[in-house]
A and B are shown apart, each in its own frame.
Chain A
Amino acid sequence: MALMARQKRHAPETDRRAELVAELRRAVLESAGVSAETVRAGAASGRALPPPLQDYAAKVRDSAWRITDADIAALSAAGFSQDEVFEVSVAAALGAGLRSLHAGLDLIRGRGADAPGDP
């Protein structure tokens, strides 16, 4: 009973946190922006994007510590606005963060590496 009471007390906090994760995901990936939602979804998940964005988003997700001024300058030179760079960067970073969260949650729920959560 004590355990049940503790879990009951914890449940609203867990729900609140899930709601906050969903709000962050919606704001970054589904709100009105200068970039298309499909572009942000691709940056987050790794699905195909046009060449300069594809490589850039992969770099943000997988080796952001290697990004330099030259990467940002290359996107500007290719015609992307600063707000597009901002949005795609945030989407890619959040996608990587969600990938880590879901990998762990799937293990806890008994689902293995074959069923990663969709960012």
Chain B
Amino acid sequence: MRPAILDHGHRIRARMFLGLVRRSTGHPIDPVAQLALYRPGFFGRPFLALAGQVLRGPSFWTPAEREYLAAFTSGLNQCPFCVRMHTEVAKIESGGQLEPGRPQAARPQLLAVLPLLEQVSRDPVDADRANLDAARAAGVPDDAIVDALHISLIFGTINRLANTFGFAWESDRQVRLGAQVIHRLSYRLPGFLMR
């Protein structure tokens, strides 16, 4: 990662955890977790608390659909690192039924909110009502639109950081392992590492 302090600057308890993960899985930890564990009070702790609520808390959208929106947003922000992971998580959360990039498997409301997300991601300054009206007309409740906009916040932020700090996957195996961890832990890391 760049700057190098994100690889080597963690507190001792986080360094021990990073070493443990590497030894037990054969891979470095998910780079997002590695970032979150660096000075966790500055970014990682509040970011993961919000991400957990937005991506796994109560919502109109299933967890798999939220992962679909995550992968879609990551594509808009040109973040192949996040597209790869959240495509994998969407497949796990849906039991293989829903896959980003295959819109024929998605319910119409999910597809109806995509143009609004594209607009606020690509051109927030000139956002107009047409895409919002179209989503409402397709039966997407306002609560669900707000839920989706929070996915734009989460991934608008982490996509930029992944690209800025140079996140990368070592292998498909590392992606599959990381996706299983997200599935099981719902975006949580051990509390003693985040304090």
Contacts and interface: CB of A to CB of B under 8 A. Distances in A.
Interface of A: 10, 13-14, 16-17, 20-21, 23-24, 26-28, 31, 33, 60-61, 64-65, 67, 69, 72, 76, 82-83, 85-87, 89-90, 92-94, 96-108, 112-113, 116
B78 interface: yes
A30 B71 CA distance: 30
Interface string B102-124: 00000000000000110111001
Main secondary structure of the interface of A (DSSP, over half): helix
Contact of A104 (B3, B9, B46, B127): B127
Interface residues on B, range: 35 or more
B165 A89 contact: yes
A103 B120 contact: yes
Interface of B: 2-6, 9, 38-39, 41-43, 45-47, 49-50, 53-54, 57-58, 77-79, 116-117, 119-121, 124-129, 132, 142-143, 145-146, 149-150, 152-161, 163-166
B58 A93 contact: no
